[in-house]
Amino acid sequence: MSAVYTIEVEGAGVAACSDAERVLVALERAQGLGKLKGLPRKLPVGCRRGGCGICRARVVAGQYRHDPMSRAHISEADEAAGLVLSCAIYPVTDLCLRFETSQLKKPNQRND
Ligand code: FES
């Protein structure tokens, strides 16, 4: 039996995600259901396989497991700092994410 975790997108809302589901897929579903109203734009989705880097995000809190992520988009240092490709991670606890891509940033939002 799989566990279901809460995925919070900072300032945007929450999604439910099973431990067997890619976080980006759960977020897409939640956005389609109107549960991520705080996102200024549609979630960035590309290859959905950890290769294009468009779904880059920072895990602010929580634990996850992951499939391979392109080193062209997530270096070892990035990974150590909590940066991930959200299409390649699966929750093992509740998570809090912050999207890094400029496609989701609101005007004047800082890139910390
Ligand atoms: S959608 Fe391409 S790396 Fe996530």
Domain ranges of the chain: 4-104
Shortest-distance atom of ligand 1 to CA 87: 4
Question: Domain 4-104 sits in which CATH superfamily?
Answer: Beta-grasp domain (3.10.20.30)
- Structure confidence at residue 55 (pLDDT): 92
Q: How confident is the model over 34-85, as pLDDT tens digits?
A: 999 888 788 888 999 988 999 999 999 999 999 999 999 999 999 999 999 9
In terms of C-beta density within 10 A (0-12 exposed, 13-18 middle, 19 or more buried), how is residue 27 classed? buried
Q: Supply the pTM of this predicted model.
A: 0.88
- Structure confidence at residue 105 (pLDDT): 55
Among residues 18, 24, 16, the alpha carbon closest in space to that of 44 is found at 24
CB 92 within 8 A of CB 63: yes
**Partners of 61 in the β-ladder:** 96
In angstroms, the Cα distances linking 69 to 19, 29, 51, 53, 96 are 18, 22, 6, 9, 19
User: Minimum mean pLDDT among 9-13, 58-62, 100-104: which range?
Assistant: 100-104
Best of 48, 90, 103 to mutate for ligand 1, by most ligand atoms within 8 A of CB? 48
Shortest-distance atom of ligand 1 to CA 53: 3
Share of the chain above pLDDT 90, in %: 71
Is the pLDDT at 110 greater than 90, yes or no?
A: no
